Chain A
Amino acid sequence: MNGMGTPLGLVVDGSLGQGVEVRLDPATSVEEVKVGTFVTLQGEKLRFFGVVTDVKLGAASPGLKYNLPDVSDPFISEVMGGTAVFGSIAVLPSLTMPAVLGDSDSPAPAKTIPPHFARAFLASERDVQAVFGNADDQHFWIGNPLDMETKVCLDLKSLTERSMGIFGKSGTGKTFLTRLLLVGILQSDLASTLIFDMHSEYGWQGRDAERNRQVKGLKQLFGSKVAVFSLDEKSSRQRGLSPDEVVRISYGDIEPEDIEALRENLGLSDVAAQAAYNLKQRLGAGKWLEEFLGMGGRDDLSELSSSINVQPQALAALHNRLSRFKRYEFMVSRTERDSVQRILEHLDRGMHVVLEFGRYGNDPHAYILVANLLTRRIHERYVQRHEEAEGKGGPGPRPLVIAIEEAHKFLSPGLASQTIFGIIARELRKYSVTLMVIDQRPGGIDQEVMSQVGTKLVCLLDNERDIDAVLGGAPGSRELRTVLARLESKQQALIYGHAVPMPVVVHTREFGSADSYAELSRTPSRPLSGDGSASRSSGDELKDIFG
């Protein structure tokens, strides 16, 4: 068999754009070949690697369905199968394989297709390994191809170089996939991560509702490499976590831009949102918000409105909506330590920061406000550092991945051009900051932002608009649509983009068992780039946990 997998059939038709049609051998039943399965096609000079995108039934004669053979006779049924009627599969050849497996040449994108009657085989484990690589410091095992034991590995360098997106309906395993990705990035130590943990699932333990068990968070797996910041200390402590830092935000930190990012969510008119700029100008930077919120009487507001030349109703609406900030316990007049600064310090040390929102996770205004505010400051800092590094010719800042959930609330077409996340998604790659966008409604995200997402990991989606949004512009998107629609609702994801050589459907690897923790908490082989404080290996900590 020369390392080839099971023979499937012959190429009988096709094009580079639409993929090739493989007629199945009589011995191969359509039931044995699934959408998403990997296939190799042996041409005369090249060997192609592709994926099954459709399975079809064919008949040699169109009249056959009007003159049915007597299939109750097993002999007749056996004769007809594979000849007068046959199965065929559509294969999208994505890569050409090196002539010799294990060669230093890596698979290259296919620029042609195999000729007529090229033989198709199920891809062997070795083929898949040659394409998706071996797990090492820079390649993270994310899962397995369908019905195979081989590992599918993500190229973490390519993954973190550009923004990435994790999409899928609610309950399809986005959170698990995100945890895995974060673990991969932490293992590789290629970038720092800042996670805006809306539902407190990533830092300390989260919940696997499916199996009704607790699963470990990053802090438990990576110990001192991870710092958990909390916006809601009470909630964190209730869950048994003593956060590294409690985040306090002063009114002075909030800028009119942050209010503008909240405009849609707060239901503010353009005029009302713009009034924040007038207020800052009138009342002074650093204190405008606290002073504004401190105004109680209608008369005060009315006077102010006339002095800054804003409609009284608009100003009253702004005051009314922003008054909710006073209920946030994390909002204070003056902070003892600058939380933003502390987060930056941790990131600079090569650590990873999880910001837990606790009970504020259910308040989208709080989430957007804090995420936007922090990210804006970080953005300023990274741009500044990058420019400094360019001036001195030194290395740029350490790459940073910012993970945000419910991304459509930041990156909707109306907001994407205004919020800091829109800017990062579009241009901050060159400043070493990328986004990890986690969302269930990718259709609600600005198209321009979606087009900049380098690697997409998509769990089951069934809304047309969402599917269009994630597949827009991808090569073979029509074929991928079939694959995407057939994903199982759990533990399966379609991955495509920069971090994988070709689109692939994976069964995501286990997360939650003792064995999986032992593998996932592997300490990176390279030293920390910061102060190296992570001297105690997480393996030791694991022993503490499991004995």
Chain B
Amino acid sequence: MSSHQPTDSSTPQRVGEVVESASHRFQAQCYQLYQAPPLGSLVSVGGQGEARDVSPRVYGVLTGIDTQGLEPGRPVIARGAEAQREEDIYRENPQLEHLLCTRFEAVVVGYESADAFFHHLPPEPPRIHAFVHSCTPRQILEFTHSPGFLDLLMASGGGSQAVSDEVVASCLRLASVHHPDPRSFLVGSGKILALLLASEPPRVNAMLRRLSP
């Protein structure tokens, strides 16, 4: 059931395909059920193959993952009354893999063009059907090296404020492990958050408690 992709791989893993796209956010569908990257992780879209020349590689942070039936008119029903274990349900109903799908939503936090990172919105949104890749440790390190991406992340939000703060905290925690000094990365990012949210001390306090290593 675990949906984790290996993140320490030096080559990006393809994790899905864009199915909805806007300048500040996009939605992607996973190729396999429950195979979305972790909440708050950094993903990249496009910028590969032929598209590389025409559109930049866009970076996004996962702000939400959901799994539901593909057909809106056909609600998902409970099937495990007789099953002993959860896995048995999927084994006995192999069609479920095709009737259900996992999607994730990401906010755009910047893009890469001509080998340079920009922490603002790309000139054009990712294309529909563009491939979504998990980021390599090197990409994560380079993209989060300067804290500018936090501005877009905080500004975009991912729905309600609570989700947004949760996403920001997990994004920073995930990114920190790829930095040579994770603690100082978290302290530096924490300072940016404290400034961005200076007028909301309770929110800063809650956020910092989540970040505290």
Does any Cβ of A come within 8 Å of B201's Cβ? yes
B70 at the interface (CB under 8 A from A): no
Render B91-130 as a binary contact track against A, CB cut-off 8 A, 1 for contact: 0000000000000000000000000000000000000000
A67 and B201 contacting across the interface, CB-CB below 8 Å:
yes
Please tell me if the beta carbons of A60 and B190 are within 8 angstroms of each other in the complex: no
When the two chains form their complex, are residues B194 and A83 in contact, meaning their CB atoms are under 8 A apart?
yes
Would you call A546 an interface residue if the criterion is a C-beta within 8 Å of the partner chain's C-beta atoms? no
A99 at the interface (CB under 8 A from B): no
The one of A66, A67, A70, A84 in contact with B194, judged by C-beta atoms closer than 8 angstroms, is: A84
User: Taking the complex as formed, is A497 at the interface, i.e. its CB lies under 8 A from any CB of chain B?
Assistant: no
User: Which of chain B's residues have a CB closer than 8 A to the CB of A64?
Assistant: 201
Does B212 make an interface contact (CB < 8 A)?
Answer: yes
A82 to B194, CA, bound (A): 10
> Which residue of chain B lies nearest to A81 when distances are taken between CB atoms in the complex?
B191
Output the least CB separation between B187 and chain A (Å). 5
- What residues of B have a CB within 8 angstroms of the CB of A61 in the complex? 198-201
Asked if B72 CB lies within 8 Å of chain A CBs, one says no
B168 to chain A, nearest CB (A): 14
Q: Which of B190, B193, B200, B208 has the most CB of A within 10 A?
A: B208
Interface range, A side: 10 to 19
Which residues on A sit within 8 Å (CB–CB) of B208? 69-70, 73, 75-76, 79-80
Q: A70-B205, A83-B191, A84-B204 are in contact. Are A75 and B183 (CB under 8 A)?
A: yes
Chain A residues near B193 (CB-CB < 8 A): 79
B194 touches A79 (CB 8 A): yes
Q: Mark A47-63, 1 if CB is under 8 A from B, else 0.
A: 00000000000001101
B191, A79: Cβ atoms closer than 8 Å: yes
The reply to whether the CB of B85 lies closer than 8 angstroms to some CB of chain A is no
Q: Knowing A60-B198, A63-B201, A67-B201 touch, does A82 contact B191 (C-beta < 8 A)? A: yes
Q: Is A78 an interface residue (CB 8 A)?
A: yes
Q: What residues on A are CB-neighbors of B191 within 8 Å? A: 26, 79, 82-83
The complex places the Cα of A66 from the Cα of B201 at a distance, in Å, of: 9
Which listed residue (B183, B195, B213) contacts A84, Cβ 8 A? B195
- Give the size category of B's interface with A: 20 to 34
Cβ contact within 8 Å between B195 and A83: yes
Inter-chain CA distance A69–B195, complex, in Å, is 14
Contacts A60-B198, A84-B195 given; does A79 touch B205 at CB 8 Å? no
- B135 within 8 Å of A by Cβ? no
Given contacts A76-B212, A79-B191, contact A69 B205 (CB under 8 A): yes
CB <8 Å contact, B198 and A76: no
**Closest chain A residue to B209 by CB distance?**
A70
User: Given A69-B204, A75-B208, A80 and B194 touching (CB < 8 A)?
Assistant: yes
- B202 close to chain A: CB less than 8 A: yes
Contacts of A78 in B (CB 8 A): 187, 190
Q: Complex Cα distance A226/B205, Å?
A: 72
Q: Is A75 a contact of B198 with CB atoms below 8 Å? A: no
Q: Counting chain A CB atoms within 10 Å of each CB, which of B187, B201, B208, B211 scores highest? A: B201
Give the residues in chain B near A73, CB-CB below 8 Å: 208-209, 212
Contacts of B212 in A (CB 8 A): 73, 75-76
Which single residue of chain A is at the shortest CB-CB distance from B202? A67
B186 in the interface, Cβ–Cβ < 8 Å? yes
- A412 to B192 Cα, complex, angstroms: 60
By a CB distance below 8 angstroms, the chain B residues around A84 are 194-195, 198, 201, 204
Residue of A with least CB distance to B205 = A69
Q: Output the least CB separation between A542 and chain B (Å).
A: 59
**How far is A60 from B195 in the complex, measured between Cα atoms in Å?**
8
- Nearest-CB residue, chain B, relative to A75: B212
**Interface pair A75/B194, CB less than 8 Å apart:** no
The CA of A60 and the CA of B190, in the complex, are separated in Å by: 15
Could you tell me which residues of chain B, from 36 to 63, have a CB within 8 Å of some CB in chain A? none
Instruction: Determine the chain B residues whose CB is within 8 A of the CB of A80 once the complex forms.
Output: 194, 208
- Cβ A75 vs Cβ B205 within 8 A: no
The reply to whether B205 and A67 form a contact with Cβ atoms under 8 Å apart is yes
What string of 1s and 0s marks CB contacts (under 8 Å) between A17-51 and chain B? Answer: 00000000010000000000000000000000000
Distance, CA A75 to CA B191, complexed state (A): 11
Q: How far is the CA of A83 from the CA of B204 in the complex (A)?
A: 11
Pick the contact of B209 from A60, A67, A76, A82 — CB < 8 Å? A76
How far is A26 from B191 in the complex, measured between Cα atoms in Å? 10
Which A369-398 residues sit within 8 Å CB-CB of chain B? none
CB nearest neighbor in B for A26: B191
CA distance A64 to B205 in the complex (A): 10
B211 cross-chain contacts in A, Cβ below 8 A = 75, 79
CB neighbours of A83 from chain B (8 A) = 191, 194-195, 198
Q: Which residue of B lies closest to A64 (CB)?
A: B201
State whether A75 and B201 are in contact (beta carbons under 8 Å apart), knowing that A26-B191, A80-B194 are contacts in the complex.
no
For B186, B205, B209, the residue with the greatest tally of chain A CB atoms inside 10 Å of its CB is B205
- The chain A residue with its CB closest to the CB of B189 is A79
Distance A80 CA – B187 CA, assembled complex (angstroms):
9
Contact A79 B190 (CB under 8 A): yes
Q: In the complex, what distance in Å separates the CA atom of A69 from the CA atom of B204?
A: 8
What would 9 A/B residue contacts be, using CB atoms closer than 8 Å? Answer: A61-B200, A66-B201, A69-B201, A70-B205, A75-B187, A78-B187, A78-B190, A80-B208, A83-B198
Interface, chain B (partner A; CB < 8 A): 183, 186-187, 190-191, 193-195, 198-202, 204-205, 208-209, 211-213
Interchain residue pairs A-B with the least CB separation, the first 7: A79-B190, A60-B198, A67-B201, A83-B194, A84-B194, A83-B191, A75-B212
Known: A61-B199, A73-B208, A79-B208. 11 other contacts (CB 8 A): A60-B199, A64-B201, A66-B201, A73-B212, A75-B183, A75-B187, A75-B213, A76-B209, A79-B187, A79-B190, A84-B204
